[in-house]
Amino acid sequence: QVQLVESGGGVVQPGRSLRLYCAASGFTFSSYGIHWVRQAPGKGLEWVALISYDGSNKYYADSVKGRFTISRDNSKNTLYLQMNSLRAEDTAVYYCAKEGLYDSSALDYWGQGTLVTVSS
């Protein structure tokens, strides 16, 4: 069965960096684009970034452009999110989610999320 497991979250001071991981299993990882989506406490969903199946195309939300970098290692079935210059407003649960088979814009499987707290 498809599984996406995020890790790497924690408490970090403003201005510091953190790297998130998303370990995938149960599907051909190298065939699908993968997204990061975040949800601040008590708030709605906010799209963060997308990387294409082969890593050749990357898209970012304006709120993280220039600070966050999405990448993947298809040999390890792992997705990454390098987060630099973190701000208090980056505090959120971060989910990785897989593109759908029949509709690439749909996110058909999600991980359980990892919490990032940016605080001094």
Binding site for other proteins (CB under 8 A): 35, 37, 44-47, 50, 59-62, 95, 97, 100, 102-103, 105-113
Choice between 82 and 112, CB closer to other proteins: 112
Minimum CB distance to other proteins smaller for 17 or for 112: 112
**Could you tell me the smallest distance in angstroms from the CB atom of residue 112 to other proteins?**
6
Structure tokens at 64: 């993280």
Instruction: Tell me how far, at minimum, the Cβ of 110 lies from other proteins, in Å.
Output: 4
Residue 40 · residue 47 · CB < 8 Å:
no
The sign of the CA dihedral 103, 105, 111, 112 is negative
Q: Please give the full DSSP string across 13-33, using - where no structure is assigned.
A: -TT--EEEEEEEESS-GGGS-
- Kindly state the smallest distance separating residue 98's Cβ from other proteins, in Å: 10
Residue 27 beta carbon to other proteins: minimum distance, rounded to whole angstroms: 14
Nearest-angstrom CA–CA distance, 3 and 90:
25
Q: Which residues pair with residue 93 across a beta bridge?
A: 39, 115
Q: Which amino acid is at 78?
A: T
Instruction: Work out whether strand 114-118 and strand 10-12 pair parallel, antiparallel, or are unpaired.
Output: parallel
Q: Select 35 or 72, whichever has its Cβ closest to other proteins.
A: 35
Query: Which of 45/78 has CB closer to other proteins?
Result: 45
